[in-house]
Amino acid sequence: MSQSLKIIGVDESGKGDFFGPLVISSFIAENSEIPQLKAYGVKDGKLLSEKRIIEIDKFLRDNFNYVTVTIMPDEYNKRYKEIKNLNKLLAWGHARCISLLNEKQECDKAISDKFGKIDHISGELKKLGQSIKLKQIVRGEAVTQVAAASIIARAEFLRQMEYLSDKYDYQIPRGASAKVDQAGQELVQLHGEQILKLISKTHFKNYNRVLSPTLL
């Protein structure tokens, strides 16, 4: 593989979290820059502490081109209601991130973690007038550019969760566990049912469990 190839990596954060946005980020680097990225600690964001994610995120954003698309819960719920398919919503976000970054710095290829059919992203790219070579691979974070994108997306997700927690004066938990259900019930008691459409992904099973505690 040529060292000069410019590769866009793309990944998301928040997909499995009831509360908070869906964040998708793309990141571009030449293969010759991979040793520098690895030396700074770039790897699968799931293997890094939150503190390290924030540190590496700043380094990446200060030194490389990237794009982040943040779909806050109110917009997410509207789009999901129209599309009714998470993979298609992910494809829309991935394609948008790839396209916007390719306009900043032209790439030779884009790589994403595998989800759904590759035609979903390719189709969305065509709608945007892009004919970028695209590859989806299982455990895409093994590719350094995808790992970098995952770190940027995760850092933005963490910032947005902190913002929502501050806005509603409540430490909003991550994930989709029983603890999350309990937090949802407490937030509904404080702010009414309408808050869920503003801070959560309403197609999750948690939504009905929050509104109907007997389902817990």
Residue 158: Cβ within 10 Å count: 19
> What's the average model confidence in pLDDT over 117-121?
81
User: What does the buried/exposed string (b/e) look like for 67-106 if buried means 16 or more CB atoms within 10 Å of the residue's CB?
Assistant: bbbbbbbeebbebbeeeeebebbbbbbbbbbbbbbbeeee
> 216 in a domain, yes or no?
no
Give the torsion sign (CA, 64, 91, 202, 181).
negative
Percent of the chain at pLDDT above 90? 81
User: Could you report the per-residue pLDDT of 169-209, keeping only the tens digit for each?
Assistant: 999 999 999 999 999 999 999 999 999 999 999 999 999 99
pLDDT at 122: 87
Number of domains in the chain: 2
pLDDT at 190: 96
DSSP states of 6-29: EEEEEEEE-TT-SBS-EEEEEEEE
87: containing domain: 6-165
pTM of the model: 0.94
Beta bridge partners of 206: none
Contact status, residue 195 vs residue 64, Cβ threshold 8 Å: no
The answer on 56 and 83 residing in a single domain is yes
> 90 in a domain, yes or no?
yes
> 116 in a domain, yes or no?
yes
Q: Mean of the per-residue pLDDT values for the chain?
A: 93
> 130 in a domain, yes or no?
yes
> 204 in a domain, yes or no?
yes
Predicted confidence band at 113 (pLDDT cuts at 50, 70, 90)?
Answer: confident
Type of residue numbered 179: K
Q: Is the pLDDT of residue 157 over 70?
A: yes
> 1 in a domain, yes or no?
no
The answer on 53 and 10 residing in a single domain is yes
